[in-house]
Structure 1
Amino acid sequence: MPSSTAALELFAASLTSLALAFLLDRFVGDPPSRFHPVVWMGWVIGRVKRANRGSPLQRRVLGVLCALAVIALFSLPVYFALQVAYGVSPLLYVLVACVTFKFTFAFRSMADYTKPIAERLLQGDLEGARAFIPYIARRDPSKLDEELITSTAVESIAESTVDGAASPLFYFALLGVPGAVAYRVVNTLDSMVGYKRPDIRDFGWFSAKLDTILNYVPARLTALLIAASAKLLRLNSSQSLRIALRDHSKTESLNAGWPMSAMAGALGVKLVKLGFYELGDPIDKLKPIHIIKALEVMAVTVALFTVICLPIILLRCMLLAPWVM
């Protein structure tokens, strides 16, 4: 166990890294794709997918080994780089940590993709709004009317509150920047190989299960905090909790239903994915303004989640430093 002085020093460095990462995301955003680590993850995973051959058992074993290898490939260099950086200077650690951590979450990008949808819908430009759908969801835009486009955007905001913000924060709090990086690798693996298609199901089962496990706690905490955010924003907090408890199991995902149903309740709308689920009650008709309201709920929820993570970060610095940074 580190001394109290060392623990507080690392805690201060961690908080500074966290704050700077948020500022980088807010005012700088993401770099071009060729310089984005998540794109590199996708490139590596695309090559790893070539190992998907053999019997179902062989594919499962290879899926486990490949997933663990990709996680190690990205998280271990970060771990050692931070160890070296902190040994040289806490300032160098902060610089490396904030830049690396920033690439593990997607807060501003969700607003960048969904605000234009609301703007185009308000202008009556349905085709313009549809053009942004492929950036946030795997749905055929041509089959979506204004309400379904709005629903898709609100659902994506709610789900991204977990996997794009809360979960990276949670694993940063528990395991430092390497933990957030490992989470982002798992989430990327799930998005690329975690399907139930016969050709990839066995290879991707481990990545899918691991992503479900890692999002389990953050998804449920996020649902609670969406309700709390609704209270602060003078939306329907009690309805948010009620709908989350009632409708969370309607989605195929064990986790996605929690934030989406909580968001539906907070906004007083019904979110619909045709042929799959309906979440919430149509107290209010879905309108483009609900996209903006959902982004406001997301922002407050992430702020509350960050506050909850602060004592966890302090405990990590007190108990696990310098091994976990």
Structure 2
Amino acid sequence: MAEPMVLAALLVDAAIGWPAPLYARLGHPVGGFARVIGWCARGWNRQEWGATLRRAMGALTALVLLVLAIGGGWLLQALAGWLLGPWAWAAVALLAWPGLALRSLHDYVRPVGVGLAQGDLPAARRAVGMIVGRDTATLDAAGVARAAIESLAESFCDGVAAPLFWLVVGGLPGLWTYKAINTADSLIGHREAPWGPFGWAAARLDDVLNLLPARLGAVLLCLAGGGGWAVLWRDHGRHASPNAGWTEAAMAGALGLRLAGPVAYDGVVHDKAWIGDGRVEATAGDVARALRLYRRACVLLIVLAALWAWKGS
């Protein structure tokens, strides 16, 4: 069942993503995880508690998410098999589809390049502000372009390679476990207040779950870009994350750009290391090149899924 299910989920997501009307009516499944995380954080992340207790309550939050994701995924997969028999793979593909983000990621990044190409820097800033956490109000055109490309590179792992990897490894339970922990990491896995110790477990689990997918994603980006291997090997460790640096370095090397560098969050400038040794002045054309590279990497994933489905047939 797994082989055609994975290919079908990829194709559905590549074709339509998560349409805006569907989001307006139903939201998105990760919103359910976000609500659970918010409920746990309100009750269990007490600033007056010590670091050890807050870390333990954060670990309990992660455990709650694991139980919900694994249990819910297993139940849905089992019900599909019981009700549909040999056609269960189609239902599981539809249940897996929202966990992938091939089309959505592309559609979020593209308006940044369009705004820059039209000379509309405010529109490009608004578009990039929807996909990055850094301060965007004072970014120049090159800074906006680099931010979009960096987000595309990192999200190729978070939104595509990692969910697909865990779907292959663990079916629906694997996919939705990854999405639950990744959502927790994005919401509470920060060293800054008010999270700190409370978000430690989510951040470490996310690191573990992205360990292999980030490296596989980097290889795919270099293959799709026809190069970038030297920068990938040299610079992947310059990122604060043990995983995000892999896909970002692959993107920087393949495009001949310099990414990362100093960045501001909430008015505070963080002196991050540069990744890559190419141009700093990224342009709208570079955003378009990054999107073409991303599409080729996604096609490689679809081809691999098709070969796996053919082999299993």
> CA separation in 1, counterparts of 2:11 and 2:143?
33
Matched with 1:26 is 14
Deviates more, 1:172-181 or 1:74-83: 74-83
Question: Are 2:155 and 1:160 equivalent residues in the alignment?
Answer: yes
- Preserved contact between residue 258 and residue 277 of structure 2 (Cα < 8 Å): yes
Equivalence map 1:40-59=2 (5 Å): 40-50=32-42, 51-53=44-46, 54-59=49-54
- 2:241 is matched with which residue: 253, 278, 281? 253
Question: Are 2:25 and 1:37 equivalent residues in the alignment?
Answer: no
User: What is the identity, as a one-letter code, of the residue corresponding to 1:295?
Assistant: L
Question: Are 2:295 and 1:304 equivalent residues in the alignment?
Answer: no
User: What is the identity, as a one-letter code, of the residue corresponding to 1:52?
Assistant: N
Give CA deviations for 1:108-129 in whole Å, capped at 9, x if unaligned: 1111111111111111000010
Deviates more, 1:99-108 or 1:283-292: 283-292
Question: Are 2:172 and 1:172 equivalent residues in the alignment?
Answer: no
Equivalence map 1:1-325=2 (5 Å): 10=1, 14-30=2-18, 31-32=22-23, 34-50=26-42, 51-53=44-46, 54-90=49-85, 93-231=88-226, 237=227, 240-274=228-262, 275-283=271-279, 285-308=281-304
Deviates more, 1:219-228 or 1:165-174: 219-228
> CA separation in 2, counterparts of 1:314 and 1:168?
21
Deviates more, 1:96-105 or 1:150-159: 96-105
- Preserved contact between residue 59 and residue 203 of structure 1 (Cα < 8 Å): yes
TM-score (norm 2): 0.88
Q: How far is the alpha carbon of 1:23 from its aligned partner?
A: 3.1
- Preserved contact between residue 152 and residue 273 of structure 1 (Cα < 8 Å): no
Deviates more, 1:290-299 or 1:203-212: 290-299
> CA separation in 2, counterparts of 1:189 and 1:282?
34
Give CA deviations for 1:244-293 in whole Å, capped at 9, x if unaligned: 11111111111111111110110011113422231112258421121122
Matched with 1:320 is none
> CA separation in 2, counterparts of 1:57 and 1:312?
46
Distance change (3 Å), C-alpha of 1:94 and 1:312: closer
- Preserved contact between residue 7 and residue 309 of structure 2 (Cα < 8 Å): no
Query: Any idea what SS the aligned residue of 1:143 has?
Result: coil
Query: Any idea what SS the aligned residue of 1:252 has?
Result: coil
Q: How far is the alpha carbon of 1:309 from its aligned partner?
A: 6.1
User: What is the identity, as a one-letter code, of the residue corresponding to 1:36?
Assistant: H
Query: Any idea what SS the aligned residue of 1:157 has?
Result: helix
> Any runs of at least 4 consecutive aligned residues in structure 1 with deviations exceeding 3 A, and if so which?
305-315
> CA separation in 1, counterparts of 2:148 and 2:207?
22
Q: How far is the alpha carbon of 1:220 from its aligned partner?
A: 1.1
> CA separation in 2, counterparts of 1:197 and 1:272?
20
TM-score (norm 1): 0.85
Matched with 2:267 is none
> CA separation in 2, counterparts of 1:88 and 1:262?
44
> CA separation in 1, counterparts of 2:59 and 2:302?
32
> CA separation in 2, counterparts of 1:104 and 1:273?
31
- Preserved contact between residue 244 and residue 262 of structure 1 (Cα < 8 Å): yes
Q: How far is the alpha carbon of 1:93 from its aligned partner?
A: 2.1
Alignment: residue pair count: 298
> CA separation in 2, counterparts of 1:62 and 1:276?
31
Distance change (3 Å), C-alpha of 1:41 and 1:22: same
Q: How far is the alpha carbon of 1:313 from its aligned partner?
A: 8.3
User: What is the identity, as a one-letter code, of the residue corresponding to 1:148?
Assistant: G
Deviates more, 1:89-98 or 1:254-263: 89-98
Distance change (3 Å), C-alpha of 1:253 and 1:312: farther
> CA separation in 1, counterparts of 2:302 and 2:189?
28
Q: How far is the alpha carbon of 1:306 from its aligned partner?
A: 4.8
Q: Give ranges in structure 1 of 5+ residues lacking alignment.
A: 1-9, 232-236, 318-325
Distance change (3 Å), C-alpha of 1:284 and 1:148: closer
